[in-house]
Amino acid sequence: MKHLKMTCAGLFLLLASVTLNAQGWNILRPVEWQKYDDGKARIVINADLGKETISRHIYGHFSEHLGRCIYGGYWVGENSDIPNTRGIRNDIVEALKATKIPNLRWPGGCFADEYHWMDGIGPRDQRPKMINTHWGGVTEDNSFGTHEFLDLCEQLETEPVICGNVGSGTVEEMSKWVEYVNFDGISPMADLRRQNGREEPWGVRFWGIGNETWGCGGRMTPEHYADLYRNYATYTRNYGDNRLMRICSGANATDYHWTEVMMRDVGPRMMWGLSLHYYTRSSINRRASATQFGEDEYFDILERCLAIETAIDRHIDVMDRYDPEKRVALVVDEWGAWYAVEPGTNPGFLYQQNSLRDAILAGLSLNYFNAKADRVKMANIAQTVNVLQALILTDEAKMLLTPTYHVFEMYKVHQDATLLPLDLKTADYAFGGNSIPAISASASKDENGAIHISLVNTDPNKNISVEIELRGADTKSVSGRVLTASAFNAHNTFDNPEAVKPAEFNGARLRRNVLTVDMPSKSVVVLEVK
């Protein structure tokens, strides 16, 4: 057992109490793995045993008033020479729609708890300015506010997730915001919305009640925040047929006591979801670069990524004790890699590049979120444009898609599909005396019966042969795409924006419901089997 380690798509160990089918494969849990010593990997997918739906909201995004995410990212203003619709960049909208973006969280982040929404409505030239004290001390002119954000969501055809101000705001302020956005009748806030040019309410369902209340959102104790949450939740009203999906501000990484208090003192009746924030950072280099690194830092980041599994499993264990029916969703609404900012950029803007390593991290994480689809119902990568592990980078009129973007576009086939239980036995990727599983996998079946399999090879040096047995399926064809590059730090630049992009994958062969896949080193592959 000492050789078993977590992948971002596996479980820590096989339970002694599992049952076996006729061939001896474990089928109790959606994903399991154990070490395989012949340098290969073997997977059994039970195509007729799927029960859980992979929520499309696992593939959500996060955009904060931070650096160039909003200003210089989405928002250029109506008078810009960059093609836009009501001030919002057309190219970014088109790119995100291609990933079937399911939701977008806004306005923060730490910024949410110093944001007063009424400063961001009405004529833009009359909106008061403020200091963005969390992110660079720059002036926020509030030209991108509630109407602009919800216009962005409508253009993206995605659901908004609004995070309210608990840290420096009031119950009345948040209550009025919900009324302004959602009420269809005659009231002061609904009338103000109409005065500002919007007749119909938007009907926003997802509302976060504060952000990181243990830290930048107020440095509260969990007991204090639990009381405050119940107060705020009471006055965020349902209007008409719209039912709010309230998200409670959850734990930082491994703070299991915070989860314990929220489940005990708030519970399923008052919250739809409980959040979790988990960032992957280097353990060997405090100034780790997003692109300048060797295999030691490559391995370290992927090994650190593994810890999110242990953390989520333990949070789920706490949630299960209080909520065995799984009524409360776990919402991983901030996750991703965090490196040093790019040289010469404002350290408060958190602008970093994005390499093939980040695509592998994203693939591992999403495979794992899929595996936990019975509890994980929403996740939001941080962040969408120009900040942290971004999908898109911009430089004035230029725009590029990062390797992480391509993973989200490839993995969109899992959205709202049925999770297929699988067993994984894999060789290790070893480095410096430590090892992690070389292969990660997830599988789902869509409404048309097509099976999609997402695979990640973490080993940067070896191709790995993966044998996949599809049980309970009648399969005839396989096709796929692969994302890889010659180096694990390969990345896209504005001079070479397509250095890392998906290509057709011809390394899979299907014979009698058995797939043989030649996984390239350091790669992400998504297969479609019909």
SS (H, E, C) 295-349: HHHHHHHHHHHHHHHHHHHHHHHHHHHHCCCCCCEEEEEEEEECCCCCCCCCHHH
Residue 295 annotated as catalytic: no
The conformational region for residue 267 under phi > 0 = left, psi -120 to 50 = alpha, else beta, is left
Residue 421 has what DSSP assignment? Answer: P
Residue 334 annotated as catalytic: yes
C-beta separation of 156 from 148 below 8 A: no
Residue 489 has what DSSP assignment? Answer: T
Q: Helix, strand, or coil here: 126? A: helix
Q: For residues 424 and 345, give the distance between their C-alpha atoms in angstroms, rounded to a whole number.
A: 43
Torsion on CA atoms 133, 209, 365, 285, rounded to nearest 10 = 30
- What is the rounded end-to-end Cα distance, in angstroms, of the chain? 37
Q: For residues 481 and 138, give the distance between their C-alpha atoms in angstroms, rounded to a whole number.
A: 42
Q: For residues 174 and 24, give the distance between their C-alpha atoms in angstroms, rounded to a whole number.
A: 55
Q: Helix, strand, or coil here: 88? A: strand
- Of the candidates 334, 324, 316, 226, the one whose C-alpha atom is nearest the C-alpha of residue 271 is 226
Which entry of 64, 114, 334, 469 is annotated as an active-site residue?
A: 334
Which entry of 64, 212, 297, 303 is annotated as an active-site residue?
A: 212
C-beta separation of 92 from 392 below 8 A: yes
496: Cβ contacts below 8 Å, ≥ 6 apart: none
Tokens (6 digits) for 348: 């408060």
Q: Tokens 């730090």 correspond to what residue? A: 489
Tokens (6 digits) for 491: 């990345």
Q: Tokens 């995070």 correspond to what residue? A: 163
Q: For residues 207 and 53, give the distance between their C-alpha atoms in angstroms, rounded to a whole number.
A: 22
C-beta separation of 147 from 196 below 8 A: yes
- Neighbouring-strand partners of residue 337: 280
C-beta separation of 297 from 344 below 8 A: no
C-beta separation of 57 from 64 below 8 A: no
- Of the candidates 300, 378, 332, 371, the one whose C-alpha atom is nearest the C-alpha of residue 103 is 378
Known catalytic residues are 212, 334
